[in-house]
């Protein structure tokens, strides 16, 4: 019998408990924790005191952080080799020798070293939550426990590809307005620094009172030309401030709350979050993970704090015996069609299939939302650029028109 340390949530409450159980393997340990009335969130084998083996030491090798594209490459190769019946050690050795990217080779080297010293694949990657993420680790652990690592890797690969596709869609939608804004700012700076000062002598020779807009922009241009070094400092300060707003929890939480009140953008945020949420839930459920653990893993994918908090409330309701669809409906965040599909799946015993249908529905809705946003952004950007051009032209030509009229 092996001793396992567990971290779990007490059923019916939000209380986190920790303890130890004895079991022959990880699956029995998880079952033992559930028999105690707890929902396990993390179970690891206890390291024997005085054991000097390398597998019991903290990982000391270099484990690089893999980006999403690198995780896809690593998982894809591992899944192909596993499907061919090649053992995990030999698969990692192949990746170590033949992977195209250095980070993937380093990752395979460290994993193979630890597994050769007695570790399991799931137990080894569990030591690197920052590199692989809790969702990846949780699904691999479930697949290994069920003896279906090959199928789990296939599901993981599908999940990672879906996340990459969603990220690409969202980034592609936001890239155009960001590029236009940066270009507009650059043009304004060039006009203020190099064009407006040229007109200063001509305006001074007119001997007339310049319009307010001309005086303001002229003053800004002269100041920026004299203190040019302040321009990159200002951009760096603005960038640092924006980064701080999105990293400092109180401000990020407020931003997350505000964006859910903005039309169209709200739909983009919700559907992009729930696309990952439902996809992870489907993969975890198909891998045999209990529904509460499915919710726990799925909730890790939510990037909006408001949505995350509401789904956590739904998780507590499920712990207390409420149906999944009813608990999610009470949060008033998930689209009604998704709730209907989940409810239908619960009633018919085909929740996995309905989650797959929900994933397809969300993908279609996300494509529609992105198409609408793209069409909306183009006229908005034209209005913004046109307004900037109008202001700059007015500042330059109003004095000339006033001088002509005065003649």
Same domain, 72 and 36: no
Q: Answer whether residue 299 is part of any domain.
A: yes
Residues 145 and 4 sit within 8 Å (Cβ to Cβ): no
CA 322 to CA 325: how far, in whole Å?
9
CA 238 to CA 253: how far, in whole Å?
20
Confidence class for position 406, pLDDT limits 50, 70, 90: low
Instruction: Check whether 9 has a pLDDT greater than 60.
Output: yes
pLDDT tens, position by position, 356-368: 899 889 888 888 8
Domain limits for position 197 = 151-407
Residues 14, 15, 18, 23, CA torsion sign:
negative
pLDDT tens, position by position, 175-216: 888 888 888 888 888 888 888 888 877 777 777 778 888 888
Backbone angles phi, psi at 10, to 5 degrees: -70, 130
Same domain, 205 and 328: yes
Same domain, 94 and 220: no
> Which residues lie below 8 Å from residue 380, measured CB to CB, with a gap of 6+?
177
pLDDT tens, position by position, 320-365: 888 888 888 888 888 889 999 999 998 888 888 898 899 889 888 8
CA 241 to CA 392: how far, in whole Å?
28
Query: CA nearest 73: which of 136, 148, 159, 157?
Result: 157
Same domain, 167 and 107: no
Same domain, 325 and 263: yes
Q: Answer whether residue 168 is part of any domain.
A: yes
* CATH code: domain of residue 349: 1.20.81.30
In the DSSP assignment, the letter for residue 56 is G
Same domain, 238 and 370: yes
Same domain, 25 and 110: no
Which pLDDT score is estimated for 341?
A: 92
Q: Answer whether residue 22 is part of any domain.
A: yes
Which pLDDT score is estimated for 58?
A: 47
**43 vs 392 pLDDT, higher one:** 392
pLDDT tens, position by position, 99-112: 888 888 888 888 88
Tokens for 22, please give them.
């004895």
Domain finish residue from 99, 132, 165: 132
Which pLDDT score is estimated for 233?
A: 93
Same domain, 160 and 27: no
Instruction: Check whether 298 has a pLDDT greater than 90.
Output: no
Which pLDDT score is estimated for 42?
A: 67
Tokens for 387, please give them.
């307004």
Q: Answer whether residue 210 is part of any domain.
A: yes
Average pLDDT, the chain: 83
Q: Answer whether residue 142 is part of any domain.
A: no
Q: Answer whether residue 402 is part of any domain.
A: yes
Backbone angles phi, psi at 229, to 5 degrees: -65, -20
Overall domain count for the chain: 3
Which pLDDT score is estimated for 14?
A: 57
3-state secondary structure of 258: helix
pLDDT tens, position by position, 37-74: 777 766 777 654 334 343 344 444 567 888 888 889 99
Instruction: Check whether 407 has a pLDDT greater than 90.
Output: no
Indicate left, alpha or beta for 133 from its phi (over 0: left) and psi (-120 to 50: alpha): left
Same domain, 21 and 120: no
Same domain, 73 and 41: no
- Of all residues in the chain, the percent with pLDDT exceeding 70 is 91
Provide mean pLDDT across the span 150-160.
85
Query: CA nearest 368: which of 333, 335, 330?
Result: 335
3-state secondary structure of 63: coil
Same domain, 180 and 324: yes
Same domain, 92 and 183: no
Q: Answer whether residue 54 is part of any domain.
A: no
Indicate left, alpha or beta for 321 from its phi (over 0: left) and psi (-120 to 50: alpha): left
Q: Answer whether residue 333 is part of any domain.
A: yes
Which pLDDT score is estimated for 50?
A: 36
Tokens for 78, please give them.
């591992």
């Amino acid at each position: 019998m092996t001793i396992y340390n567990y971290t779990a949530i007490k059923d019916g409450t939000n209380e986190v408990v920790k303890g130890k159980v004895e079991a022959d393997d990880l699956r029995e340990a998880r079952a033992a924790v559930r028999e105690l009335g707890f929902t396990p969130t993390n179970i690891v084998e206890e390291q024997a005191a005085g054991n000097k083996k390398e597998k019991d030491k903290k990982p000391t090798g270099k484990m690089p952080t893999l980006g999403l594209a690198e995780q896809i490459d690593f998982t894809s190769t591992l899944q192909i080799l596993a499907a061919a019946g090649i053992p995990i050690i030999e698969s990692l050795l192949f990746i170590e020798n033949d992977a195209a990217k250095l980070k993937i080779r380093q990752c395979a080297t460290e994993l193979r070293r630890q597994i050769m010293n007695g570790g399991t694949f799931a137990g080894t990657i569990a030591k690197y939550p920052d590199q692989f993420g809790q969702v990846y680790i949780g699904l691999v652990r479930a697949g290994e426990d069920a003896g279906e690592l090959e199928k789990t890797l296939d599901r993981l690969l599908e999940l990672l590809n879906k996340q990459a596709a969603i990220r690409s869609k969202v980034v592609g939608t936001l890239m155009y307005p960001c590029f236009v804004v940066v270009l507009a700012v650059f043009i304004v700076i060039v006009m203020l620094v190099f064009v407006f000062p040229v007109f200063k002598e001509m305006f001074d020779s007119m001997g007339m009172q310049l319009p307010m807009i001309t005086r303001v922009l002229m003053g800004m241009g002269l100041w920026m030309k004299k203190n040019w070094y302040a321009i990159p400092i200002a951009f760096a300060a603005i960038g640092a401030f924006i980064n701080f707003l999105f990293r400092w929890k109180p401000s990020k939480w407020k931003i997350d709350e505000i964006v859910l009140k903005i039309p169209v953008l709200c739909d983009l945020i919700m559907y992009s979050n729930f696309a990952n949420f439902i996809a992870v839930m489907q993969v975890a459920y198909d891998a045999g993970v209990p529904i509460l653990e499915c919710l726990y893993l799925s909730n890790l994918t939510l990037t909006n704090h408001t949505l995350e908090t509401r789904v956590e409330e739904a998780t507590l309701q499920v712990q207390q015996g409420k149906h999944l669809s009813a608990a999610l409906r009470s949060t008033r965040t998930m689209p009604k069609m998704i709730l209907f599909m989940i409810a239908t799946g619960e009633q018919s015993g085909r929740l996995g299939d309905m989650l797959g249908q929900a994933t397809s529905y969300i993908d279609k809705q996300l494509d529609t939302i992105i198409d609408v946003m793209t069409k909306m952004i183009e006229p908005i950007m034209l209005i913004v650029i046109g307004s900037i051009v109008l202001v700059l032209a007015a500042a330059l030509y109003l004095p000339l028109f006033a001088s002509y009229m005065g003649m």
